Amino acid sequence: MGDKKLDPILRSVLTNRFESICSEMGETMLRTSRSPIFSEARDFVTGIFDAKGRMIAQRPYIAVLAGALPYCLQGIMERYGDDLVDGDVILTNDPYLGKNNHMPDFTVARPIFVGDEVAFWALAKGHQADTGAGGCCGYNPEATSTWEEGIRIPPVKLYKAGRFNRSVWDLVLKNVRMEFMLDGDLNCLVGATKVGERKLLQAVSMYDLDTIKQAVDELIEATENHMREEISKIPDGAYTAERFMDHDGFDRDRMVKVKVTIRVQGDQITFDFTGSDPQVKGSINSTEANTFSSVCLALFMTVNPNIRKNAGALRPITLIAEPGSVVNCLEPAPCTASTICTTATIVEAVWLALSQAVPERSQAAWARWSAPATMGFNPRNNSLFGDIHFMCKGGAGATMGFDGWNHLGVISCAGGLRSPDPELHEMVCPYTVLQYEYLEDSAGPGKWRGGMGTAYRWRVEADGILSDNFGDGLRDETAPFGIMGGKGPKHSQLRIVRADGAVEDPDVHKFVVLNKGDLYEIMEAGGGGYGNPFERSVSKVLDDVLNGLVTMQAAQEQYGVVIDPQTLMVDMEATLQLRDGK
């Protein structure tokens, strides 16, 4: 190789090829999975790595999964070291032994051999509909250790030297309820890594291994430089913020704190979580992998979005998270809800801190996730079902110059989570959806307002269905915040109206059994606003009123825009008076 740089054209060509390999792997998964969590909601990620475990490229359908892949591969490499042969395929879901982000996300890794050596890895990771133990679609609010959250799979070989390892496969399948679904989705993960292998070997035959290795080195270095350049644009200093989670499911009166101090020095950035709460009893503990991944997500959404997401982009980031804290939990702390609750809280804390440094690139908070996973038996088609109610995605936060997007969902997914089709949903689950539309006045006001939240109500048509809301955001303190004078919306609200009329609060992190005739109602918050709402353009406010997104009362109180209910025209005089008064 030597010092000579690769022809920049060849380097560009190979970079494009790497990215297309990850997309093709993702496409395979999208088409072949059985669980709606994969195929409809696209809760998965694919990536390719070099022999040193450095991420070359990835295709995150769910953004928060991307930063967690490198950890997972590290866990696998540590465990297997040299004990690898061509044709091995490794599975893990273990947050500790496999450095996996949480148990429902099964990770399949395939070492790719050129000659006798591992040259690359292809990884695919996705959320399974069922992980066994006491959980509901993998979420168990009563778990106080990782063993109660699902079957624990340290890195194990699904295939040994190309031979299917039936013992492992059966052992895993026989420990979950929805064996059929998991069987299909494991096949689909394995299939995706096979596609990755085929394409990478093809590239090796076209360009030779040394050239590709050099291209990877140069790509990672170029991306690192780009990331450093972006970090340099953030003024040097220390920026601190803290955000909370509702509770851990056990001590329901105690909010759980995430605190971050971001220190920027030149082209280095450190995220120091000292001061965050110690790890808790319930499943909102975050592993280091998940914390790091959440930090990456928050940062990537603030700097230039075109930075390539490879090992180079991660290098300038330093994480300080005290072992034993809620942002770096130790075995055997339960951690399944961390990718939703803790991730959102970490991202919010990072954004709130960064808004002190780079307000022009910051964004207001997105609505937290607050909806249940449900699991049970559907008498209509005589089968078990498990589904996450992805309909109630809330609004995104506003940015300078742009309203937040409506119904975009939980921040972990950053807009990559496809809402389910309500018709298919009713055909699979014993439910009747009564309402699924934007929730009036749910957006945080601002010069640029937050995205709209969602009103989602459904009736249960069968007995004995287990549900668990694994999100949070049901308090004023955990509702989305606005920035730069923008306001936060009202927090999300949930209730169950039982068939007999009794009203119940499902709260979060709590098993609730649903029966025929029960009504589940979710009023999911919108996103936070950016800038003073009294500076929002009057015509935009009128538009929102005419479109039924903002009521006339809210237009007047929150935006200072007076609309005549008869003519539906803006009373400019009254508006100016009101706006000047503030």
Interface positions, 134-193, toward other proteins (CB under 8 A):
180-181, 184, 187-188, 191
Q: Is 500 buried (19+), middle (13-18) or exposed (0-12) by CB count in 10 A?
A: exposed
Choose, by CB under 8 A, the member of 317, 319, 400, 578 that binds other proteins: 400
Q: Is 580 buried (19+), middle (13-18) or exposed (0-12) by CB count in 10 A?
A: exposed
Choose, by CB under 8 A, the member of 118, 367, 408, 512 that binds other proteins: 408
Residue closer to other proteins by CB (options 110, 247) is 110
Site map (CB under 8 A) of other proteins, residues 447-486, x = contact:
----------x-----------------------------
CB of 424 to other proteins, least distance (A): 6
Which distant-in-sequence residues (6+ apart) come within 8 Å of 475 by Cβ?
A: 246, 255, 491
Choose, by CB under 8 A, the member of 54, 99, 125, 194 that binds other proteins: 194
CB of 378 to other proteins, least distance (A): 11
Which distant-in-sequence residues (6+ apart) come within 8 Å of 181 by Cβ?
A: 34, 35, 128, 129, 130, 386
CB of 564 to other proteins, least distance (A): 17
Residue 337: both structure tokens together: 């809800």
Choose, by CB under 8 A, the member of 95, 416, 486, 506 that binds other proteins: 416
Positions in 335-364 near other proteins (CB under 8 A):
363
Residue closer to other proteins by CB (options 238, 400) is 400
CB of 182 to other proteins, least distance (A): 11
Block residue for tokens 């109602």: 521
Which amino acid does the sequence have at 67?
A: G
Choose, by CB under 8 A, the member of 85, 173, 209, 222 that binds other proteins: 222
Q: For the beta carbon of residue 221, count every other beta carbon within 10 angstroms.
A: 13
CB of 235 to other proteins, least distance (A): 20
Residue 375: both structure tokens together: 């699991």
Interacting span for other proteins (CB under 8 A) from 49-57, 68-76, 432-440, 476-484:
432-440
Positions in 512-571 near other proteins (CB under 8 A):
546-549
- Gap between the Cα atoms of 357 and 86, Å rounded: 49
Positions in 281-310 near other proteins (CB under 8 A):
300-301, 304-308
Choose, by CB under 8 A, the member of 161, 171, 330, 427 that binds other proteins: 427
Sheet architecture: strand order including 44-50: 55-60, 44-50, 117-127, 105-114, 89-92, 156-160, 163-164
Decide if residue 195 touches other proteins (CB under 8 A): yes
- Gap between the Cα atoms of 345 and 334, Å rounded: 17
Which distant-in-sequence residues (6+ apart) come within 8 Å of 550 by Cβ?
A: 440, 441, 443, 541, 544, 559
Residue closer to other proteins by CB (options 55, 219) is 219
Taking a C-beta distance cutoff of 8 angstroms, is the pair 130, 385 a contact?
Answer: no
Choose, by CB under 8 A, the member of 127, 157, 243, 418 that binds other proteins: 418
Residue closer to other proteins by CB (options 36, 155) is 36
Taking a C-beta distance cutoff of 8 angstroms, is the pair 136, 467 a contact?
Answer: yes
Residue closer to other proteins by CB (options 147, 402) is 402
Decide if residue 444 touches other proteins (CB under 8 A): no
Helix axes 552-559, 538-546, angle to 10 degrees: 160
Decide if residue 8 touches other proteins (CB under 8 A): yes
Decide if residue 368 touches other proteins (CB under 8 A): no
Angle, CA 504 vertex, CA 127 and CA 348 arms, to 5°? 45
Residue closer to other proteins by CB (options 329, 392) is 392
Residue 562: both structure tokens together: 């007076």
- Gap between the Cα atoms of 14 and 310, Å rounded: 14
Choose, by CB under 8 A, the member of 432, 515, 553, 577 that binds other proteins: 432
Interacting span for other proteins (CB under 8 A) from 76-84, 136-144, 393-401, 571-579:
393-401
Decide if residue 426 touches other proteins (CB under 8 A): yes
Choose, by CB under 8 A, the member of 229, 463, 535, 571 that binds other proteins: 229
CB of 351 to other proteins, least distance (A): 10
- Gap between the Cα atoms of 217 and 264, Å rounded: 26
Collapse the DSSP code of 312 into the 3-class scheme (helix H, G, I; strand E, B; otherwise coil) and give the result.
helix
Residue 486: both structure tokens together: 């923008």
Site map (CB under 8 A) of other proteins, residues 55-84, x = contact:
-----x--x---------------------
Q: Is the dihedral of CA 206, 210, 216, 219 positive or negative?
A: negative
Site map (CB under 8 A) of other proteins, residues 10-29, x = contact:
-xxx-xxx--x---x--xx-
Positions in 26-55 near other proteins (CB under 8 A):
27-28, 30-36, 39-40
Q: What are phi and psi of 44, to 5 degrees?
A: -160, 170
Choose, by CB under 8 A, the member of 225, 240, 268, 270 that binds other proteins: 225
The distance in angstroms from the start CA to the end CA of the chain is: 67
CB of 497 to other proteins, least distance (A): 16
C-alpha count within 13 angstroms, C-beta hemisphere, residue 545? 25
